[in-house]
Structure 1
Amino acid sequence: MPIVRALDRGIALLRGFTSMRPRLTLIELARAAELDRGTARRLLQTLRLAGLVEHDELSGRYFLGIGVLELASAVEIGRDLREIAEPYLIDLANRTAAVAFLWTYSEGQALCLARVKAETPAVEATWFPVGARAPLNCGGGPKALLAFIADEEREQALKYDLPKRTPASLTDPEVLREEAVRNRSQGWALGIDDFVVGLSGVGVPIFDARKQLIGALAVSGLSSVFAVSPEPPHLDALKQAATAIGVKSVSA
């Protein structure tokens, strides 16, 4: 199937933006999309006219425009699960004074479907953004997915780049396999200081009425709260919420 080169290059430019790098220069975008600066500039101008990209004249940096949000509102993947889970996320966040996350597995990574902060949070931080993907080697929610996905999916996930976000991040595929087996056996996953130093989280799987894995539920907060044994706090609340969400869900 032939591809339209201009469209393919435009998509490459859009994919150059990430949650960690939301504002980029022309040179940075050209490098990310593997384009020369002239081609990148012309394509960015077209994307600006379409409302998908904006340009800050003062800093010279580009950033995604409101048009991307309008497109995102039409995305159906995960919408039903997100709508079902929302009241449980709100309740969890407020009961635990932590941040509640809803994750789902997508092509070897964890996709953040929703995030809810407590009305009176115990900590203020730059939390992982909704709509972004994360590798499965860090964080309670992603690690819960790694433990409960099928074996072949786990092998696919472990072939991805596994960044060492902090000194506590695990990157050895064999070590992660062993941890996934333990997490699957105990029914939950814990990430201590492996996503952000000082923050930790616990995650549990969500199974639908057909007993199929549809996502993971997690809460995150200060490591001093979560780094306890033999079990982390809020585990019962998480399991109850995950069960309630699953009962109301049916895989597509």
Structure 2
Amino acid sequence: MSDALPPAKDDREDKEFMTTLAKGLAVLGAFGKQRPSMTLSEAAHVAELSRATARRVLRTLNQLGYVEQDGRSFSLSPRILDLGFAYLSTQSWIDRALPLMRELSERFGESCSAAILQGSDIVYVARVPARRIMSAALSVGSRLPALHTALGRALIGYLDEAEIWRRLNARRIEAYTPQTITDIQALFDRIRDDREQGFSIIDEELERGLRALAVPVLDRSGQAVGAINLSTHSTRTTRSEMREHFLPALNRLAAQVSSLTV
């Protein structure tokens, strides 16, 4: 299933809430890297719908061109990219950030990425890879758990306290490495501390050897619209060196992008 947060109870009880649309989006969200294609029964199970409902949804999506059918299997069609590109086209800060990210990546010889917050995950919206750091290849559209990434913590800190707790409780906290913070109170405190200091660092919490530093990109009202990071391997750069060299450069980049963001 998609890792996006479920609609709040008040949303589901809203008389204007379109249950049919929500079911269609649930089916679309069920597809992904682990499930590039599904049968009707599988889609119904993953989206938590009846077979009859899943059949109507898939038939509609197929006729609209967002889903393709091959025998008993269904998969997303290339037309689904229109939805993603439509979103990216409204985020002008990404276009402004990308050339600056390339310069930063070349200067330090490290990967530079930008992401937004979606539920309990971050979603990469721009990436300039340098050396291979993580075992998993990352690209635009890739998702990672927000709580254990510098990008995610830099963004979650801009939510109000109640919403931070909601997202902390929205998914099971998993220990990815011995350094992963799994205590919910400790995670909350780290998120608030990162907001206070204006940046976030993770040190081998998501994957052994991976260190990253991220800063938020703010709009003119002071709200975080995204975050940008530099990531490195623990054998190349210490935490102190990241603060000394990465942080000033990232702050300048974020300030340049933020100054033009509505």
Identify the match of residue 33 of structure 1 among 22, 38, 47.
Answer: 47
Could you tell me how far apart the structure 1 residues matched to 2:217 and 2:248 are?
14
Report % sequence identity. 28
2:205 aligned residue: 194
Which consecutive unaligned segments of at least 5 residues does structure 2 have?
A: 1-14
- 1:65-214 pair list within 5 angstroms: 65-75=77-87, 79-106=91-118, 109-118=121-130, 121-123=131-133, 125-131=135-141, 134-164=144-174, 166-167=176-177, 168-214=179-225
Which consecutive unaligned segments of at least 5 residues does structure 1 have?
A: none
Q: Which runs of 4+ in 1 moved over 6 A?
A: none
Could you tell me how far apart the structure 1 residues matched to 2:20 and 2:157 are?
40
Output the TM-score relative to the length of structure 2: 0.76
Change (3 A) 1:99 1:19: farther
Deviates more, 1:96-105 or 1:174-183: 96-105
Could you tell me how far apart the structure 1 residues matched to 2:66 and 2:223 are?
36
Change (3 A) 1:90 1:229: closer
Identify the match of residue 232 of structure 2 among 200, 221, 228.
Answer: 221
Could you tell me how far apart the structure 2 residues matched to 1:107 and 1:88 are?
27
Matched residues, number: 245
Could you tell me how far apart the structure 2 residues matched to 1:165 and 1:20 are?
21
Counterpart residue identity of residue 190, structure 1: I
Structure 2 contact 116–124 (Cα < 8 Å) conserved: yes
Superposed CA deviations along residues 179-205 of structure 1, whole A, max 9, x for unmatched, are 123323433211123333333311112
Change (3 A) 1:92 1:125: farther
Counterpart residue identity of residue 207, structure 1: L
2:3 aligned residue: none
Counterpart residue identity of residue 130, structure 1: V
Q: Please report how far the alpha carbon of residue 145 of structure 1 lies from its aligned counterpart in structure 2 after TM superposition.
A: 1.7
Higher share of residues assigned helix: 2
Could you tell me how far apart the structure 1 residues matched to 2:82 and 2:251 are?
34
Counterpart residue identity of residue 224, structure 2: L
Output the TM-score relative to the length of structure 1: 0.79
Change (3 A) 1:240 1:127: farther
Structure 2 contact 120–147 (Cα < 8 Å) conserved: no
Could you tell me how far apart the structure 1 residues matched to 2:175 and 2:124 are?
17
Q: Does 2:28 correspond to 1:14?
A: yes
Counterpart residue identity of residue 113, structure 1: V
Change (3 A) 1:84 1:122: same
Structure 2 contact 213–231 (Cα < 8 Å) conserved: yes
